[in-house]
Amino acid sequence: MEPLISMLIIIGGGVLVGVCVHFIPASAVGAMSASTGIATGPSMLSFGAGLAGILSASFALEEGLAVMLASGAGGSALMIILTILGGNLVNAFGTGVPPVSGQTANKLSVLGTSTKDVITGWEQKPYITPGTDGHGMPVQTTVSGIIGGVIGGLGGAMVFYGVYSLFSTFSVEAASLSGMVAAGIFLINCVLPAYTLVGKTEGMFDRKILRTPKTFLSCLIVSTFLALIIYSVSQYSGAV
């Protein structure tokens, strides 16, 4: 593959990684069931999903680009689904709160003033605990999380493939090297959106999704810088 195309793949993957964070529901206050979303910071959760994506993509390294991208997206989405399932089980049977979207119940959803779940049409308002901003991961949030997982895994696999195709020309250990570099790029890109999200997001039905262009632009700049470094490594490096 042309080195320049590999570099563009790295940049595109980095931007996708940044965008994916907006879709994955996460909130630190979720640990106390005081807010909708998985109970951790958005960037850390996205990083976990991305790492799962990079790992599963690396298994399909020999199968070609399409299979590898699909494998990455599948692995990442699977990780998100399992996390959401576990979180919902703990919320429902441990804490005793039903999954409910706080933003939708408070009429702050991006789709307008409806208090119903967009996908199932279930009423959200009666189930929300007063004084909290929702709890658990209801259907619309889960679907958004899965979309985020797919985007993130796709981005991670793209970065991995880009770095691998650049490194494989000069190093026999290209797979492990590019895994580490891809994880680094993923981490750098998924912390930037966390600045826009300010600690919590409910996924694509949260108003914060409207701030995605800012994330897009900043991830584009940072990914370009990193891709340039990696490109120059591949072009000017001696034998390792």
Partner 1 sequence: MSVDTGATSTGETDIKSIRLFAIAIIAGLAGIMLEEKISFVFILVPAIWPAFLSSANGVRSLASYGLGTGTSSIGYWGTAVGATTVYAGMLLGLNPVVEIALALAGGAITGICAQKIIKMKIPVMIRESAILAAATAVIIRFLIGLFPQQVTILFPLMYIAVTLAVLHPYNGSMGAGENQRRTLWLSGVEASMTTAVFGLLLLLMAPSWGSAGVLLVSASGFAVFIIGWYRSVKKDIYGMAWTGFPAAEH
Q: Taking CB under 8 A as the rule, which mask of x and - marks residues 152-191 in contact with partner 1?
A: -------------------x-x--xx--xx-xxx-xx--x
Q: Give whichever of 61 and 143 is closer to partner 1, judged by the CB atom.
A: 61
Taking the least distance from each CB to partner 1, the nearer of 118 and 192 is 192
- Shortest Å distance, C-beta 169 to partner 1: 12
Binding piece for partner 1, criterion CB under 8 A, among 73-81, 95-103, 106-114, 232-240:
232-240
Q: Tell me if 157 sits within 8 A of 73, measured CB to CB.
A: yes
4-38 per-residue burial string, b: 16 or more CB within 10 A, e: under 16: eebbbbbbbbbbbbbbbbbbbbbbbbbeebbbbbb
Which pair of tokens denotes residue 56? 């599963």
Considering beta carbons, is residue 64 or 199 the nearer one to partner 1?
199
Residue 35's SS3 state is strand
Residue 41 in the binding site for partner 1 (CB under 8 A): yes
Q: Classify residue 64 by its DSSP letter.
A: -
- Check if the beta carbon of residue 100 is closer than 8 Å to that of residue 128: yes
Residues at the interface with partner 1 (CB under 8 A): 28, 41-44, 47, 171, 173, 176-177, 180-181, 183-185, 187-188, 191-192, 194-199, 214-215, 217-218, 221-222, 225-226, 229-230, 232-233, 236-238, 240
